[in-house]
Amino acid sequence: MFKIFALNKDQRSLIDKILSDDIMGRQTIVQKDGSTLGYDEKIILVVEGQAEIFSRLDSLLENKVKPLSENDASVVYKKIKDEEEAAESGVGFLFGP
**In the chain, what are the domain boundaries?**
2-95
Question: Is the confidence at residue 92, as pLDDT, over 80?
Answer: no
- pLDDT tens by residue, 9-64: 999 999 999 999 999 989 999 999 999 999 999 999 999 999 999 999 999 999 89
Closest CA to 11 of 25, 31, 26: 31
What is the value of pTM for the model shown?
Answer: 0.86
- Rounded to whole angstroms, the Cα distance separating 6 from 47 reads 12
